[in-house]
Amino acid sequence: MRLSELSRRSGVATATVKFYLREGLLPPGRRITATQAEYGEEHLRRLRLVRALIQVGGVSVASAREVLAALDNDSLDQNDRLGTAVWALPHGKPADPDDPATETARQRADRLLERLGWGYGPLADVTPPAYGMLVNAIATLERLGYPCAIEDLEPYARAMEQLAVNDLDLVERYGGTADEQVEAAVALTVLYEPVLLALRRLAEAEESRRRFGTH
Amino acid sequence: MRLSELSRRSGVATATVKFYLREGLLPPGRRITATQAEYGEEHLRRLRLVRALIQVGGVSVASAREVLAALDNDSLDQNDRLGTAVWALPHGKPADPDDPATETARQRADRLLERLGWGYGPLADVTPPAYGMLVNAIATLERLGYPCAIEDLEPYARAMEQLAVNDLDLVERYGGTADEQVEAAVALTVLYEPVLLALRRLAEAEESRRRFGTH
């Protein structure tokens, strides 16, 4: 397909597609004349992923390039490509190492993960950024005096454990080659985050109405 | 307690506490001399909430003021105060009404909520911003060609339904007066969001390792 069709089918403006091509986020098309190139389904798929990362994930162009490099790294297996790509997503500010709440939170996160029997994901000899994100979130709860005991946190972890099975079932149902599935897994990680947060707020409103509603 | 102790116990710098006082996010203390005021536990509690909203929730000073006004509105019951406060939180950009994917997403969100038997939360005659956030997230999935059928979305909604029960159990275990519980509910809505997203990424890494890991 031509650039105009690629733009139409992806819903991404041609100027933006050209920008992504210039920035190397999209591989060049097969040149057919001096001014025109032909793009395939793999361009469309890649373009959708780039869009998800940048528009919803708030990923910078540099980080998006890192995510894509992980996906294209043929020396990694499917699990490591997925893990490395997710690691390149933004994870918020790291926890303040000088704050005593950080050390408490770290111990609590470690005990929680031990109880869950989770490793640290694909590259177990280093800690993934999501671990730092968890420690930071627990440290904030701790510092502000809100409940964050292991018993408080565990139900959230169990729910996410079930949803992770669902996430990857969704990816496998999505079908395609191993490459396509890894791309979809990264996109769905990012794109289902606002779904989850919106549904949680709606579910809380419903539960609050049941418990506290007076009219 | 004096301002210095309020700062120490909350972990919020005195200059920041003074800024919140000036901005009306914290009620003034009881004046004891021309230059000193006395603060109570309710100031500490309020300060923790303001911190959660602004630092973790990314809430602006103006929106934080709106959240607090809802919490302090004695003409509302506990459910409406909680609902109105959560509505003042940021919910991302609204869906583009001119995009056909938005209408598809809206119909899908409605059918999903109908299937779940949820109302639209505390003020059922208007749609809460979390509904718009859900529509926008589904529209993005739809536009980019990723799975977002009702059947795909339902397990996420069911998981959030369970967690909402847990959220409010946590609030009730936290104890205190009805006012204190509503404050805690708002804070926990915001502060558990990064906990949830971090745990999801860790759970996905674990599930990916089980399914796709080769070493």
The C-alpha atoms of residue B53 and residue B12 are separated, in whole angstroms, by 13
The distance of A204 to chain B (nearest Cα, Å) reads 5
Interface test with chain B among A56, A74, A179, A202, by most B beta carbons within 10 Å: A202
In order of A59, A68, A85, B170, the CA distances from A28 in angstroms are: 22, 14, 21, 53
At B129 the pLDDT is 87
Which chain B positions have a beta carbon within 8 Å of A138's beta carbon?
195
Tell if the CB–CB gap between B130 and A163 is shorter than 8 Å.
Answer: no
Could you tell me if B213 and A122 are in contact, meaning their C-beta atoms sit under 8 angstroms apart? Answer: yes
Select the residue of A131, A165, A191 nearest B202 (Cβ to Cβ): A131
List CB contacts (< 8 A) between B136 and chain A. 194
A154: contact with B, CB 8 A cutoff:
no
Whether B196 sits inside 8 A of A160 (CB atoms) is: yes
Q: What is the pLDDT of residue A124?
A: 54
Sites in chain A below the pLDDT cut of 50: 121-123
Sign of CA dihedral B82, B85, B87, B89: negative
Tens of pLDDT along A67-106?
999 888 888 888 888 888 888 888 888 778 888 889 999 9
Q: In the prediction, which pLDDT does A179 show? A: 84
Residue A116, pLDDT score: 92
Measured in whole angstroms, the distance separating CA B51 from the mean position of its chain's CA atoms is 13
ipTM, 2 dp: 0.91
Inter-chain CB proximity B156 and A192 less than 8 Å: yes
Q: Beta strand pairing status for B30-31 and B37-38?
A: antiparallel
Query: Tens-of-pLDDT digits for all 215 residues of chain B?
Result: 999 999 999 889 999 999 999 999 999 999 999 888 999 999 999 999 999 889 888 889 998 998 899 888 888 888 888 888 888 888 887 778 888 889 999 999 999 999 998 876 444 566 788 999 999 999 999 988 899 999 999 999 999 999 999 999 999 888 788 888 888 899 999 999 999 999 999 999 889 988 888 87
Closest CA to A173 of B15, B117, B79, B151: B151
**Residues A172, A176: Cα–Cα separation, whole Å:** 8
